[in-house]
Amino acid sequence: MWLVEDADTRIFLLGSMHALPAGTRWDGGKVGAAIAAADELVLELAPDQLAAAGDVFRELAPRSAPLAMERRLDPAALAAYRKIEGAGSGFGGDALDDWAILVLMGQRVAQQADLSPENGVEARLTQRFSDAGKPIGGLETARGQLTLFEKLDAATQRRLLTRALANSASGVADVKAMNAAWARGDVAALEKVVNEDVDAVPAARAAIITRPDTGWCGCNSRAARRDAIPTFPFSPIRSPFPASRLLFRRFPAMRPRFRHGHPWRRGGYVQLFLGEMI
């Protein structure tokens, strides 16, 4: 957890994983104390938006006209694509935008790494807060998130797809390494894994990380000045690293610290903000 604080405000950033192996223990100790103290859970997508994501994907993913994968990819990339697709049901890639194929590939690799959203932090906390009758909200919408990818220009989508295919041989190992780094709190390793692919495609970073995180930080900057909601334990939407740096620049008087901690109640209300790193 990251703590951003000044004289009268403390903001917690809690990095989480959307999909985890069965039996992963992550909610004990001081993290568990923060969860128990929270009056409200704020997710990347509220439960109704998460439920709508599949329909939104099916609406946005198709191309205006089919394009065979053989015409999109060189022989090496095509072979890598066929290998991933062949590990399960077909993607129907000829009819889909490149970004949509990339999403389906990511889901396939997570399955091969024995990760499941049902075991993830989001699902377990959603159930816990629902059972406790505590409110659950969301920062974004399914359409808003997927539209970020839909609006990427064709060249940027193709670069993301071909880069993912070039690295696909180590995909399962990379996902498992990321999960292990999260489990042991290895921030440097997480930052490397989360950022290295998107950093290679600057247009994608600007569109799907920098601009949304800037807007997100603006919202939390305003919230941090309100007395009603002075404390925010949360994890950023995509990766903790760019968002935390934006917050530190927005509040130069605040001092960042990386540590495990517990929430301070001020104003009698605590929110737990949760997002996914994968």
Total-model pTM: 0.78
Domain-located, residue 84: no
DSSP one-letter code for 89: S
Give the pLDDT confidence score for residue 278 in this predicted structure.
44
Q: Cα separation of 224 and 51, whole Å? A: 30
- Specify the number of domains making up the chain: 1
Domain-located, residue 221: yes
Residues (pLDDT < 50) of the chain are: 220-270, 275-278
Burial class (CB in 10 A: 0-12, 13-18, 19+), 29: exposed
Domain-located, residue 53: yes
Domain-located, residue 81: no
Strand partners, 273: 42, 234
Domain-located, residue 39: yes
Q: How many CA atoms lie within 13 A of 46 on its CB side?
A: 9
Give the pLDDT confidence score for residue 1 in this predicted structure.
66
Give the pLDDT confidence score for residue 38 in this predicted structure.
77
Q: Give residue 28's domain range.
A: 2-57+114-158+185-273
Domain-located, residue 95: no
Give the pLDDT confidence score for residue 218 in this predicted structure.
53
Q: Cα separation of 5 and 224, whole Å? A: 10
What pLDDT digit, counting tens, does each position of 131-167 carry? 999 888 887 899 988 998 999 999 999 999 999 999 9
Domain-located, residue 97: no
Domain-located, residue 232: yes
Task: Give me the helix-helix angle, 98-112 and 75-85, nearest 10°.
Answer: 50
Give the pLDDT confidence score for residue 225 in this predicted structure.
40
